[in-house]
Amino acid sequence: MESILRVLLLQTSYMASTNLSHYDSDSIPNAEGMRFGLVVSEWNEKITEGLYNGAQKALLENGVLPEDIIRVNVPGSFELTFGASMLAETTNVDAIITLGSVIQGETKHFDFVCHGVSTGISRLNTMLEIPVIFGVLTDNTMQQAIDRSGGKLGNKGTECAIAAIKMASINQILRSED
């Protein structure tokens, strides 16, 4: 048990300090003809714009047309769940990517927002017939958020876009077998 915990701690440390935004485009399903919704929090705009830019670039690089990327802005990360729910209800998209940034402060607000948005996005994944990707940075400092939104640790928006393409493809394949 102790060795398993040690491996998990090493993996967590590795992932927290490693740029994981590089991907092999040959391993990504063809995204031509797919449509993606991106729900972007306006709070911590410098961070969320970096995430959006990374996601948009990855989608375009993998065959998604600019007009097939639908963006909806919401005031903060807590509102991402409602924005994603409304986007799914009112548009025809293959996947939704939620992008937000919550930075630890001196109060419990951080905990409530993080719990609420993660629970909400998780619930959407079981309620909707399309995947909803959790792209919310939950960092201790602004510098950590900068590093993960296009800085030295890559861009989690890019990673979310790749996850969205893969999940949308899986969803299409499984639904076509019905």
Sheet holding 95-103, edge to edge: 69-74, 36-41, 95-103, 132-139
Report helix angle 45-61 to 156-176, nearest 10: 50
Task: Tell me the residue type at 84.
Answer: A
109 in catalytic set? yes
Q: How far is CA 34 from CA 6, 60, 85, 152, 169, in A?
A: 41, 11, 19, 30, 9
The phi, psi pair for 34, rounded to 5°, reads -85, 155
User: Exposed/middle/buried for 66, CB within 10 Å: 0-12, 13-18, 19+?
Assistant: exposed
Q: Which of 109, 115, 123, 152 is catalytic?
A: 109
8-state DSSP, 161: H
Give the whole-angstrom CA distance, residue 160 versus residue 52. 10
Active site residues: 109
